[in-house]
């Protein structure tokens, strides 16, 4: 098993180009099941989640070809297996998004329930509620969701949950509704840019979807969809991770390719604590001062600060002057990284859905264990500034969502490398 080794204390300088958005690519890949014509998707990041989903699509009878510069060609068969097995779906929750397209195109689906996740409970009840409203007959038995629908019919559906709208739930229902008879209106739909990207791709395939990016989606069902060529949006979470990496090392980096309109809440909070940000033409220059101040922040559905950046902000604020409070409104238990950050010298304590952070003057390197994808990134950020050597173990989480992160950071001056753990490991890899 591999690990990341970091020698801390080097300021990041230079330029870094942002890859395509993993969280947009995955549902768009599953949308290719809605047609038997060829789809070409560009700017797809080379990450483990994409490889995992490619394997699932292959199991469902689709041909997936990977090309240069993030180009994927996907051609699904009109008929084929409608079963997404446990051994594959357990590795990645987003693979559950095959349910809607299979149900709409092949009239039936058998999809394993997604596995557990260390960031907290993520139920699928909103997915099933929305698909049942479209007329699907659904049973949950033996760890599988079994769904049938001779003909889906449009409906008015409310998809709000206790923590807000569901991104993957919205994606699943929207894809199914694209081939339903009549009009579907989704109230309290997710507004994330990745959902808007999916809607734009479906419209290029011939769907009739309006309201993407707002809480109300209107989908006029069509008889069939065709192939399309589409370019994925840049990854706003990756962009923000490099902005925070620059800030924590007191560096000066230009972020290239990011859509600044997707980062408004993040940029506002960083400006509040003293980070200098200057952006134009999808290019953002980040300059970190010698000191920055504490703040309070709350994770919220888009356009708020994403839960996927909570761990990275926690690492940054551990070095701010004063006391900060980070409140997690999406996944209240998503604080597994706190104990590992404290191993590096941070002073963070959890109180319910809050992390109380007392800023310290510096961190010191130590071996740490990554618990999930974004926690991995937070530990790397902390390692970049910690005195001495930091070793981040269990980095298979990291590779799910960051393309060549150690290479990109090295190009900015970080002393970081990926090495094989000589002790080896028999630990089974399960992706959350």
The total number of residues written for the chain in this structure: 432
Query: Could you give the 3-state DSSP secondary structure of residue 182?
Result: coil
- Token couple for 368: 């740490």
Contact residues for 430 (Cβ-Cβ < 8 A; gap 6+): 90, 91, 115
Kindly tell me the sign of the dihedral angle through the C-alpha atoms of 112, 183, 198, 202.
Answer: positive
Report how far residue 258's alpha carbon sits from residue 19's, in angstroms, rounded to the nearest whole number.
Answer: 9
- Token couple for 90: 């357990």
Report how far residue 255's alpha carbon sits from residue 317's, in angstroms, rounded to the nearest whole number.
Answer: 21
Angle at which helix 125-133 crosses helix 99-106, to 10 degrees, equals 20
- Token couple for 314: 């926690």
Catalytic-residue membership of 117: yes
Residue 354 C-beta-side C-alpha neighbours within 13 Å: 9
Other Cβ atoms less than 10 A from the Cβ of 139: the count is 11
DSSP secondary structure of 57-125: HHHTT-EEEE-GGG-EEEE--SS---EE-HHHHTT-GGGGGGHHHHHHHHSEEEEEPP---TT-----H
One of 97, 117, 163, 188 is an active-site residue; which one? 117
Query: Could you give the 3-state DSSP secondary structure of residue 164?
Result: strand
Element (H, E) at 15: strand 13-17
Order of strands across the sheet with 276-280? 13-17, 252-256, 283-287, 276-280
Query: Could you give the 3-state DSSP secondary structure of residue 280?
Result: strand
Angle at which helix 125-133 crosses helix 167-177, to 10 degrees, equals 20
Residue 89 C-beta-side C-alpha neighbours within 13 Å: 20
Report how far residue 81's alpha carbon sits from residue 298's, in angstroms, rounded to the nearest whole number.
Answer: 43
Strands 108-112 and 83-84: parallel
Catalytic residue numbers read 117
């Amino acid at each position: 098993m591999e690990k990341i080794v970091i020698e801390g204390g080097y300021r990041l300088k230079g330029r870094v180009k942002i890859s395509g958005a993993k969280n947009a690519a995955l549902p768009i890949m599953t949308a290719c099941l809605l047609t038997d014509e060829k789809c070409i998707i560009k700017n797809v990041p080379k990450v483990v989640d994409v490889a995992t989903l490619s394997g699932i699509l292959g199991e469902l009878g689709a041909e997936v070809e990977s090309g240069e510069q993030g180009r994927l060609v996907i051609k699904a068969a009109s008929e084929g297996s409608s079963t997404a097995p446990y051994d594959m779906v357990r590795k990645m929750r987003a693979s559950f998004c095959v349910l809607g397209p299979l149900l709409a195109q092949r009239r039936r689906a058998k999809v394993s329930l997604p596995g557990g996740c260390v960031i907290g409970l993520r139920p699928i009840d909103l997915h099933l509620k929305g698909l049942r409203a479209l007329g699907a007959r659904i049973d949950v038995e033996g760890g599988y969701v079994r769904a049938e629908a001779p003909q889906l019919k449009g409906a008015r559906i409310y998809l709000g949950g206790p923590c807000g709208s569901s991104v993957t739930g919205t994606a699943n229902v929207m894809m199914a509704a694209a081939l339903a008879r009549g009009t579907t209106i989704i109230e309290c739909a997710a507004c994330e840019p990745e959902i808007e990207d999916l809607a734009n791709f479906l419209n290029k395939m011939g769907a009739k979807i309006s309201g993407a990016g707002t809480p109300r989606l209107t989908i006029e069902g069509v008889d069939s969809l065709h192939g399309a060529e589409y370019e994925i949006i840049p990854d706003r979470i990756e962009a923000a991770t490099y902005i925070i990496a620059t800030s924590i090392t007191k560096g000066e980096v230009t972020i290239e390719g990011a859509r600044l309109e997707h980062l408004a809440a993040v940029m506002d909070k960083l400006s509040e604590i003293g980070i200098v940000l200057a952006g134009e033409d999808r290019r953002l220059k980040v300059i970190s001062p010698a000191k920055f101040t504490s703040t309070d922040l709350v994770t919220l559905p888009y356009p708020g600060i994403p839960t996927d950046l909570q761990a990275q902000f926690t690492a940054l604020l551990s070095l701010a002057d004063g006391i900060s409070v980070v409140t997690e409104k999406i996944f209240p238990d998503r604080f597994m990284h706190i104990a590992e950050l404290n191993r590096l010298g941070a002073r963070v304590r959890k109180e319910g859905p809050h992390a109380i952070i007392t800023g310290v003057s510096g961190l010191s390197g130590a071996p740490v264990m990554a618990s999930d994808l974004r926690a991995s990134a937070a530990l790397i950020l902390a390692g970049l500034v910690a005195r001495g050597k930091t070793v981040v173990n269990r980095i298979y989480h990291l590779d799910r969502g960051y393309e060549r992160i150690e290479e990109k950071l090295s190009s900015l001056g970080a002393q970081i490398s990926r090495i094989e753990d000589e002790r080896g490991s028999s630990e089974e890899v399960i992706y959350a």
